[in-house]
Structure 1
Amino acid sequence: MRTALVGYGLGGAAFHAPFIAATEGLELSAVVTANPKRQAEVASRYPDTRLLSTLDEVWTGDFDLVVITTPNRFHATHARQVLEHGLNVVVDKPFAGSPAEARALASIASSRGLMLVPFHNRRWDGDFLTVRKLLDSDTLGKVHRFESRFERYRPEIKDSWKESGDPKDLGSILYDLGTHLVDQSVALFGRPRTVHAEIATVRPGAKADDDVFLALTHDNGVRSHLWMSALAADQGPRFRVLGHDAAYVKYGMDPQEERLKAGETPATPGWGEEPEEAWGTLNGEPHKTEPGAYQNFYKAVAAGKPEVTPQDALTGLEIIEAAKQSATTGDAVSL
């Protein structure tokens, strides 16, 4: 599949281009960026890849797949344009700005028989794969509490659309880190019945929400507690999963992001593996982390069998909408 990557910031350079280029059945045919420095980076790393300056130039090319990794406010608009031109599309998170936008995109894709794939790559974090394996093997027994965190300590505010207070920019940490936390929870335990949320802006001068807590109650009785923060000077466990028979606790982040930033690729020996000192614990004893495997997202796309669906993204956006309502009223919201 001849693939055009639209955008070459951190997302395009680290999370998309290396995997598109390395996946059998895909070809990184073009990168769309008007930034001269980023164009030079693409030319150096992918000399056979065509450079385009605007999305409109994609329509005159012979492409099969377009990957959208532009600023959040453009995701739904650009995805719609791609679908209307009859091309398959992968859309970075957040998939859209609202459930209504997500439904409209899904309808277009379905009517035209096109792939529309939300980029929820954190389903292939090694620690998440470990939790999934423990659940599949019933090692923990009946789970009653699932705790998950993406916490950072970034007291200084950056001059970026990600820190914007304009709702159209979708700069809230709820759309950024929260999208992943919600998707992982739903992937494990299904669509929740109720959503309770606390949403705050805690850094002086910040305009976008930067500290959020969500409590989801699932049909099977599991309660998911999800934290995301830009001002966590002391960070809790990445995962804490409590079951009738055992508990799994894991600190620290999956290593793939840092390795990608350092220029490594999935072909690097030991890709996705964690050193033993970073493993989590199962009932207090070290438990090996499954290797992370972001490459499997694009392998499934290349095979025409994506593992993340538009409905997955729609459910996540409905949860985010319910969370915003809950934070305003102080009440839990039923889905």
Structure 2
Amino acid sequence: MVVKTYNVGVIGYGMSAKVFHIPLIQVTPTFKLHSIVQRTPKPTDDASKDHPTAKIYHSATEMFADPSIDIIVITTTPDTHFTFTKSALEAGKHVLVEKPFVPTSAEAQQLIDISEKTGKLICVYQNRRWDTDFLTVRKLMADDTLGRVVEFETHFDRYKAVRPENWKGNLSMDQAGGVLYDLGTHLIDQVYVLFGMPKSVTAVFSNQRNDGEAEPDSLTVLLGYGTNGPLVTAKAGVICVETEQLRYWVRGAKGSFKKFHLDVQEDQLKAGLKPGDKGFGIESEANSGTLVVLEGGKPKSSVFKNVEPKTYATLYDGFMKAIEDGGESAVPVKASDACDVLKIIEAARESARTGKSVTF
């Protein structure tokens, strides 16, 4: 039986490409790193030296015109995502695009329509759906260990006193820059996976750095799910001096779960490890979460280790299978999901601007 190999082209050669995408392409069966767009190679940053078997282009237009490419991965700044995704689809390529998908839900819907017309698939790189601690939370909820969830807190707090010199710090929110589209996209996407679309959104943005910049660097977003639904808090701050940063605090009718520390996969990828390497995705047991449940009417605490990691490679593997035979319904992170997340983000912006809750 002949197994088809899919040629993958990557637009951009920054950290996203090097850390999050090329290593996952390399461990995905039937995917081959075919080419890379790097506009301005440097002596110490040259894709042709790092990947001598890959074709190197200096513009995305050249890549779109290459008929041998099946899939294009877009890792450039989010203000370019709409144009590049549209061009790739219209050139007959499947597309995997970094988060945030595009600046607006209207643009997302346009791309969904083009995807349907061309028959080419879009997958959005919401990799933190495969954070091991998030999968642990999902298991606790699926097993009804916590009972009906009444409050759900998800945090991405850090101490970063200097604004980054990249799109996360330089692009405006209208260009899908800043904390809301960077960390907020991760936080809100995970909430969307668990609970779906909220009934109300209330948001407060702030500049915790007090650095004179107009764009906020921190956020608190409250997502309401009706009288009987959970109250969700999504929070990201940059002036948080802690030895252990809170990640999740989930409270339910039967118990609660509290977890500190971030998933380890990003740091492992930066260190050169890949999915499949020994220990990849496995967090130290010392950083395990704490589960508290009622026993005999009294709260009892225990250490609750993370579930076995599925790793970020699961996203790429799922996209491979969707392209092979699954179609749009099998895409691991659908463009329609990302469109809904953008609608929540737009509601948060409206709430922060007006000081009022926005209802769906």
TM-score by length of 1: 0.96
Deviation at 1:29, TM superposition (A): 0.9
CA distance in 2, matches of 1:109, 1:39: 38
Pair 165,22 (structure 1): closer, same or farther in 2 beyond 3 Å:
closer
CA distance in 2, matches of 1:289, 1:159: 34
CA distance in 2, matches of 1:328, 1:34: 38
- Give the residue type in structure 1 aligned to 2:270: K
SS at match of 1:103: helix
Pick from 12, 16, 21: which aligns with 1:7?
12
Which protein is bigger by CA-based radius of gyration? Answer: 2
- Give the residue type in structure 2 aligned to 1:286: V
**Contact residue 65 and residue 91 of structure 2 kept, 8 A:** no
Do residues 32 (structure 1) and 37 (structure 2) align? yes
In structure 2, the residue matched to 1:171 is 177
Pair 222,12 (structure 1): closer, same or farther in 2 beyond 3 Å:
same
CA distance in 1, matches of 2:241, 2:23: 32
Pair 166,183 (structure 1): closer, same or farther in 2 beyond 3 Å:
closer
SS at match of 2:135: helix
Pick from 238, 244, 260: which aligns with 1:251?
260
Deviation at 1:38, TM superposition (A): 8.3
Pick from 205, 208, 216: which aligns with 2:212?
205
CA distance in 1, matches of 2:171, 2:280: 38
**Contact residue 43 and residue 49 of structure 1 kept, 8 A:** yes
Deviation at 1:157, TM superposition (A): 2.4
CA distance in 1, matches of 2:229, 2:73: 37
Do residues 231 (structure 1) and 239 (structure 2) align? yes
In structure 2, the residue matched to 1:217 is 224
Pair 216,184 (structure 1): closer, same or farther in 2 beyond 3 Å:
same
Deviation at 1:236, TM superposition (A): 4.5
In structure 2, the residue matched to 1:315 is 340
CA distance in 2, matches of 1:215, 1:286: 28
In structure 2, the gaps of 5 or more residues are 1-5, 293-300, 323-329
SS at match of 2:150: strand
CA distance in 2, matches of 1:64, 1:315: 27
- Give the residue type in structure 1 aligned to 2:218: D
Write out per-residue CA displacement over residues 137-163 of structure 1, whole angstroms, 9 at most, x where no aligned residue. 111111111100111111112333321
Do residues 241 (structure 1) and 241 (structure 2) align? no
CA distance in 1, matches of 2:203, 2:164: 25
TM-score by length of 2: 0.89
Deviation at 1:264, TM superposition (A): 1.0
Q: Map of 1:99-118 to 2, 5 A cutoff?
A: 99-118=105-124
In structure 2, the residue matched to 1:271 is 280
Give identity over the alignment, percent: 36
CA distance in 2, matches of 1:310, 1:212: 24
Pick from 61, 79, 82: which aligns with 1:76?
82
**Contact residue 157 and residue 246 of structure 2 kept, 8 A:** no
CA distance in 1, matches of 2:10, 2:302: 43
In structure 1, the gaps of 5 or more residues are none
Pair 231,292 (structure 1): closer, same or farther in 2 beyond 3 Å:
farther
Q: After the TM superposition, which of the residue ranges 12-21 and 267-276 deviates more from structure 2?
A: 267-276
**Contact residue 146 and residue 224 of structure 1 kept, 8 A:** yes
CA distance in 1, matches of 2:171, 2:320: 37
